[in-house]
Amino acid sequence: MENKKIEKIGVLTAGGDCPGLNAVIRAVVKTAIVEYGWKVIGIRDGYEGLILKGKTQPLLYDHVKGILSWGGTILGTSNRANPFAYTIKQGGKVITEDRSSIVLERIKELEIDALIVIGGDGTLSIGKQLYELGVPLVGVPKTIDNDLSATDITFGFDTALNTATEAIDKIRTTAESHHRVMIVEVMGRYAGWIALQAGLASGADIILIPEIPFNLDKICEVINERVQCGRTSSIIVVAEGAKPEGGNVVVKMIVDESTDAIRLGGIGDQIAAAIRDKVHLETRVTVLGHIQRGGSPSSFDRILSTRFGVAAVELLAEGKFGRMVCLKSPNIDSVPLSEAVQKLKTVDPQGELVHIARSIGVSFGD
């Protein structure tokens, strides 16, 4: 697509929802209208809105009034609409088609001059492919997992962290009352940021993360030592992607048509069974699940989302396409999309946060 003066932009949210998406949409719409006099088209349900007709809507100034504090996304989202591998059912079979050419035609039909895509590594990888086909676009990083390496932090993470911490605080009181081992399984996919920081913030006794494989015997040994010292309850925070030494992650299900087909979950139950068998203590498991992705964004996430939204529009105005806005504290910066999706950001087992946790007696089960 040839470069031309921008008069109308499109914006979409794709992948899993998280707190702060509406704050980005609000900032994009307001900045585009107030600063540049552009029109804004909202694309519904992620990239599906560019594959199927009837899934777009104009976004006017009044449409984004009051949405700063809302969770979710007013545009809807989807993690099953990869235009380069779009799955459909035909003749009782599931087939995959490349519908990227349809996306290019839809962008042309809608007279969209540039695009802002808001999402995680899957969404941004698709954005990178569209950019390589000539679509002028920029990306905005979103994920509660905080696993994008090109930005110090992604919006949504802080809210998820606060939600997990509050939940663990509440679980602790019942653990102490009933003298139980309480296991809290949190999200994060293959990165342990939520588990590590929520565990630290809530005073967990054992934190299990993907980056440090655990030993079940060691976990039981730590619990036994606590019992012998008169500590009749224990809190274990486990990331959904945690795995035992020499073992694999626990896969809950496979969703073939999704851009992220593997769904993790169930590691907490496996650990609980081992503790009951080896230590003979009453053990309960709480899986926080999607509660971590919901609710009103924290003040930090509202501000970061707003900064990202404004910066994304400014990148378009400057003609700096194929980039992702990012936080390089204390400033908002940008990086090429190729760098943004190059690798996941995971916890350093020798890093400061792990060192701090070990220094105050937290076990990582190793």
Whether 1 has a pLDDT exceeding 50, the answer reads no
| pLDDT for res 253 | 64
CA distance 77 to 74: 9
CB 140 within 8 A of CB 25: no
Find out whether 135 and 1 touch, Cβ atoms under 8 Å. yes
pLDDT category at 231 given cuts 50, 70, 90 is confident
pTM, two decimals, is 0.91
From its phi and psi, is residue 120 left (phi > 0), alpha (psi between -120 and 50) or beta?
beta
**Helix 193-202 and helix 352-359, axial crossing angle in degrees, nearest 10:** 30
Handedness of CA 11, 131, 327, 289 (dihedral sign): positive
Percent of the chain topping pLDDT 70 = 96
Catalytic residue among 17, 113, 121, 145: 145
Radius of gyration of the chain, Cα coordinates, nearest whole angstrom: 22
d(CA 177, CA 187): 26
Going along the chain from its start, the domains and CATH numbers come out as 8-155+295-340 (3.40.50.450), 160-293+348-359 (3.40.50.460)
Alpha helices in the chain (DSSP H): 21-36, 100-109, 121-132, 157-178, 193-202, 216-228, 267-279, 299-317, 337-340, 352-359
Of residues 10, 239, 14, 44, the one with CA closest to residue 120: 14
For the chain, what is the mean pLDDT? 92
- 145 is a catalytic site residue: yes
